[in-house]
């Protein structure tokens, strides 16, 4: 194959020995589900009809939810990139690099919640990335207009002059200094330069001095002066009022004269804080990202964009090259809107009791979607095509000309007569087209003869109309509109830096997006706190496809909330965004038909916005075991041999499906089981609260927040894991845990008092209750904390709840017969 046409990546399908049994089992499980519901519906429990009906409704919902989750995993694939081919094609010796430029976006809001040192490490890893320096520009969005962030970025730019050449000289990995110096690894592996050890020690000392400077800035920022912050020249800091300040842009690196300590050029580093005024809806992170798109479009206009959260650093210095293997691929690159990398995390304990790594989603679900139309966008670690973010449709594949043949026998006209009709229609259409062109030419000649048309007037009118249309779409900035029309990026010639900065300030003003399509059809889409799902969905609806890239060395790493309360609030935010999308016009159930969205991809998007509604049947279903144990009823009648076989087949198919998924997704059983447990924990807490909060917000306009208050902390490597923070999200799972434990105690006591015959019916109820308790076990561990001691507030709340349940139990009084106690004469004379 010609070197210029060789693919830069390839698909690696899952082995048929792994995927075919998996698909067969999915079909078999569908059959078993059909038989199961046939039995359940035709065998109601007459003495517990309400319990039976509720349980069947819940089970039908779970089955639908399983279908939505399962079928998008029908075609899982993996991918491999060829970095050597990329270099051979675009980095020829003795010539400038032809790799495409990339603009990198980093977003931060509050430096007191998002430590400046973490943001600084992310920025340093970007500046030191293994990519041509003149083709990388880093834009940091400070949506809190904090002087602390500005000063920390200034210090970061100064330290980068030493750190970047050190990383490139010695091929350091990872290139975030905090993680490089703290990792317990053999840093001398593959290092042969005699000066490495000496320079590494000097660099570590420089980094520690840099940390002290950042810590000093943070300490100073703890107490805000009465008159607000002032800059070094004595002028007031423009961002003293967080909600009312002008737009600010500062270019720290990349300008003339700013080079590293070895006199090499550095990538561009730009600080951006968009204008904020009272009375404007700024659309949170999505609005900040759209401001960065416009600023970068004016200042650098790279055809590709990478966005990362401030706590997600580049762990693999070749991450941009990995993405370019897909984006710049000569065969398939033009149709790719973004390359999504998996999220990997540092600082999580070995057991990962709250499923923070989310391995099942990133290693199973996302690989399944990659075999369809591509993975969903998850908010960070994603390289975009700028034109796709601008709302343009994906390029359509040219259809090959159909083969024609005039040798069909006459008797085939019944089957193939349509060919003749199509041919006749085509000829007629060609004649009409020729007639229209001829009439246009005649009218043009008449106009010229009559002198009613001057030279170039039509061209000028069409150009003006196109310019007005683009300004209505992109806003009133001629410079930005001109950049948006450049498919391959690039800057306008003879544009002075001062004029470009002035234009950049204009495009981040509050009123710039008024009466435009920003947030509606272009850029990050507004309308949900999870703008990532909406943005990816819109691009897929325009016919684009995405790619999932999983290099052996993780491309990005970040930090995750590892204690229970913070984890639940993170899940609450995701679920709230899904509810908002479900109740909006962009809901994938009814939006985007007639576009380029494939039906299995649509199923995955429907699942991503429907899953919070599963919390309602889930919390009801988890309450049923306790109700059954307390009342002596059950949701199924006396089980026959046929029913036993059905139940065993259903449970076996669930288990084997999980095992096969773990096999082809290369996921450990611990990660899979933690994911199952947290699905229940999150479903009965965060998803439930998100559902009600979303309904109140969208339907009633009431915006509610659940606050988290820190109560205690322990010192240690994973001290945050044992940090207890009271939140109302803990109430529903705590209630379920307590009533199921009480139900088990009551059920066993009842069986002991009633004799041997009552143990048989009790077994099913006990299994049902223990299923709930086992799934909530990590939640119980989170409540107990490191010392295995439940916090006082939980003890008080539990005692109150237990008292209510006890009074309820006395009212039910199951140990006494319905007609009152039966008294019999024992036959003994006690006198």
* Residue 285, marked binder: yes
Q: Which of 594, 597, 613 is nearest to 605 (CA)?
A: 597
Q: Would you say 557 and 351 are in contact if contact means Cβ atoms under 8 Å apart?
A: no
* Residue 114, marked binder: yes
Q: Would you say 736 and 623 are in contact if contact means Cβ atoms under 8 Å apart?
A: yes
* Residue 143, marked binder: yes
362 exposed, middle or buried (CB, 10 Å; 0-12, 13-18, 19+)? buried
Distance of alpha carbon 589 from its chain centroid, rounded? 19
d(CA 7, CA 353): 42
d(CA 126, CA 273): 19
Q: Would you say 576 and 329 are in contact if contact means Cβ atoms under 8 Å apart?
A: no
Whether residue 143 lies in the annotated active site: yes
- Checking 704-713 for CB contacts under 8 A at 24+ apart, the result is 706/569, 706/572, 708/565, 708/566, 708/569, 711/791, 711/793, 712/785, 712/791
- DSSP-assigned letter for residue 700: I
Instruction: Name the helix (H) or strand (E) containing 207.
Output: helix 196-221
A 10 A CB-CB count for 487 gives 13
* Residue 113, marked binder: yes
- Helices 49-70 and 615-631: crossing angle in degrees, nearest 10, is 150
Among the listed residues 143, 260, 363, 671, the single catalytic one is: 143
Whether residue 532 lies in the annotated active site: yes
Query: What DSSP assignment string belongs to 65-77?
Result: HHHHHHGGGSS-E
d(CA 274, CA 132): 29
Among the listed residues 352, 363, 532, 671, the single catalytic one is: 532
Q: Would you say 497 and 263 are in contact if contact means Cβ atoms under 8 Å apart?
A: no
A 10 A CB-CB count for 695 gives 13
**Which H, E and C letters describe 442-456, residue by residue?**
HHHHHHHHHCCCCCC
- Helices 116-127 and 196-221: crossing angle in degrees, nearest 10, is 140
* Residue 309, marked binder: yes
d(CA 775, CA 354): 11
Backbone angles phi, psi at 245, to 5 degrees: -155, 160
Structure tokens at 113: 């919640």
Structure tokens at 765: 């109820």
Q: Would you say 316 and 383 are in contact if contact means Cβ atoms under 8 Å apart?
A: no
471-481 burial, b at 16+ Cβ within 10 Å, e below that, comes to eebbbebebbb
**Residues flagged as binding site:** 107, 113-114, 143, 284-285, 309
**Residues flagged as binding site for UDP-alpha-D-glucose:** 107, 113-114, 143, 284
Q: Which residues are catalytic?
A: 143, 532
**Residues flagged as binding site for Mn(2+):** 285, 309
């Amino acid at each position: 194959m010609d070197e210029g046409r060789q693919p830069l990546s390839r698909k690696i399908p899952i082995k048929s020995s792994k995927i075919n049994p998996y698909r067969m089992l999915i079909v078999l499980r569908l059959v078993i589900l059909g038989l199961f519901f046939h039995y359940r519906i035709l065998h109601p429990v007459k003495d517990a009809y309400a319990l039976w009906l509720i349980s069947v409704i819940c089970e039908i919902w779970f089955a639908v939810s399983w279908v939505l989750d399962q079928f998008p995993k029908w075609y899982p694939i993996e991918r491999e990139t060829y970095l050597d081919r990329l270099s051979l094609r675009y980095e020829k010796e003795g010539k400038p690099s032809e790799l495409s430029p990339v603009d990198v976006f980093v977003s931060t809001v509050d430096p007191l919640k998002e430590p400046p040192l973490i943001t600084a490490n992310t920025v340093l890893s970007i500046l030191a990335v293994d990519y041509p320096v003149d083709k990388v520009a880093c834009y940091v969005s400070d949506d809190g207009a904090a002087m602390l962030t500005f000063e920390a970025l200034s210090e970061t730019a100064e330290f980068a002059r030493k750190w970047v050449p050190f990383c490139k000289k010695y091929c350091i990995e990872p290139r975030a200094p905090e993680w490089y110096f703290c990792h317990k690894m053999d840093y001398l592996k593959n290092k042969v330069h005699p000066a490495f050890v000496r320079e590494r020690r000097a660099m570590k000392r420089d980094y520690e001095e840099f940390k002290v400077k950042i810590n000093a800035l943070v300490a100073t920022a703890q107490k805000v002066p009465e008159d607000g912050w002032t800059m070094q020249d004595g002028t007031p800091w423009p961002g003293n009022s967080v909600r009312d300040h002008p737009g600010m842009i500062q270019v720290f690196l990349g300008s003339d004269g700013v080079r590293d300590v070895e006199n090499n050029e550095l990538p561009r580093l730009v600080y951006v804080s968009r204008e904020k005024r009272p009375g404007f809806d700024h659309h949170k992170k999505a609005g900040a990202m759209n401001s960065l798109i416009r600023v970068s479009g004016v200042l650098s206009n790279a055809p590709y964009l990478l966005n990362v959260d401030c706590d997600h650093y580049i762990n693999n210095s070749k991450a941009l090259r990995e993405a370019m293997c897909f984006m710049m691929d000569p065969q398939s690159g033009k149709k790719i809107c973004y390359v999504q990398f998996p999220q990997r995390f540092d600082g999580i304990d070995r057991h990962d009791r709250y499923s923070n790594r989310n391995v099942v989603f990133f290693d199973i679900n996302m690989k399944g979607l990659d075999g369809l139309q591509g993975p969903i966008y998850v908010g960070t670690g994603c390289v975009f095509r700028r034109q796709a973010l601008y709302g343009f449709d994906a390029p359509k594949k040219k259809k090959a000309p159909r083969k024609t043949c005039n040798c069909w026998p006459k008797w085939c006209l019944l089957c193939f007569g349509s060919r003749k009709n199509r041919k006749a229609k085509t000829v007629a259409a060609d004649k009409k087209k020729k007639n229209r062109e001829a009439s246009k030419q005649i009218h043009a000649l008449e106009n010229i003869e009559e002198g009613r048309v001057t030279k170039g007037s039509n061209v000028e009118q069409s150009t003006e109309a196109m310019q007005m249309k683009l300004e209505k779409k992109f806003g009133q900035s001629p410079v930005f509109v001109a950049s948006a029309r450049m498919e391959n990026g690039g800057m306008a010639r003879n544009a002075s830096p001062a004029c470009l900065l002035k234009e950049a300030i204009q495009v981040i003003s509050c009123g710039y997006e008024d009466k435009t399509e920003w947030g509606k059809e272009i850029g990050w889409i507004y309308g949900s706190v999870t703008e990532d799902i909406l943005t990816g969905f819109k691009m897929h609806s325009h016919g684009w496809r995405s790619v999932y890239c999983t290099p052996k060395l993780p491309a990005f790493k970040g930090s995750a909330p590892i204690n229970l309360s913070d984890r639940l609030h993170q899940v609450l935010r995701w679920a709230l965004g899904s509810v908002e999308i479900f109740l909006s016009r962009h809901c994938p159930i009814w939006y985007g038909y007639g576009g380029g969205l494939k039906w299995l991809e649509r199923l995955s998007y429907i699942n991503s916005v429907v899953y919070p509604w599963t919390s309602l049947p889930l919390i009801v279903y988890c309450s049923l075991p306790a109700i059954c144990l307390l009342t002596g009823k059950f949701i199924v009648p006396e089980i026959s041999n046929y029913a036993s076989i059905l139940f065993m087949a259903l449970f076996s198919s669930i288990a084997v499906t999980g095992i096969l998924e773990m096999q082809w997704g290369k996921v450990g059983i611990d990660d899979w089981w933690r994911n199952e447990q947290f699905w229940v924990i999150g479903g009965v807490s965060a998803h439930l609260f998100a559902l009600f909060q979303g309904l109140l917000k969208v339907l009633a306009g009431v915006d509610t927040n659940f606050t988290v208050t820190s109560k205690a902390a322990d010192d240690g490597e994973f001290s945050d894991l044992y940090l207890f923070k009271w939140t109302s999200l803990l109430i529903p799972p705590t209630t379920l845990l307590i009533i199921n434990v009480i139900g088990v105690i009551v059920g066993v006591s009842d069986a002991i008092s009633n004799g041997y015959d009552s143990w048989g019916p009790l077994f099913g109820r006990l299994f049902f209750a223990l299923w709930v308790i086992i799934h909530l076990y990590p939640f119980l561990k989170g409540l107990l904390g490191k010392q295995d001691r439940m916090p006082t507030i939980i003890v008080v709340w539990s005692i109150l709840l237990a008292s209510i349940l006890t009074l309820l139990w006395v009212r039910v009084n199951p140990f006494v017969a319905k007609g009152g106690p039966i008294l019999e004469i024992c036959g003994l004379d006690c006198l």
